[in-house]
Amino acid sequence: MKRQYFKIKCNGEEIKTTFTWNSANAAIYEHVKTVAKKEGCIYHLTDSLSNRVDVISGFFDGSRTWESVSGPRMFYTIEKQ
């Protein structure tokens, strides 16, 4: 099976490329933790969407929205390359 690449963007800016869907979600979570620690606020996942053709093909794109009361809204997109 050919290796899959997933490009992760935060508010339109590319932040990382990973090899699996789960590691893409983990990278988003780590990025949110880093930003929250730097800004001193708490973020909550408010929206999550994952799209796939079928069970065998796996996921091909998705999005996550993280919001904070005092910080900016972060909209992440995951796209299969």
pTM for the whole structure = 0.88
Distance CA 72, CA 60 (A): 27
Q: What is the pLDDT of residue 55?
A: 72
Distance CA 66, CA 9 (A): 13
Answer yes or no: are the C-beta atoms of 16 and 34 closer than 8 Å. Answer: no
The pLDDT tens digits of the residues spanning 22-81 come to 999 999 999 999 999 999 999 999 999 998 877 777 788 999 999 998 878 999 999 988
Distance CA 3, CA 64 (A): 23
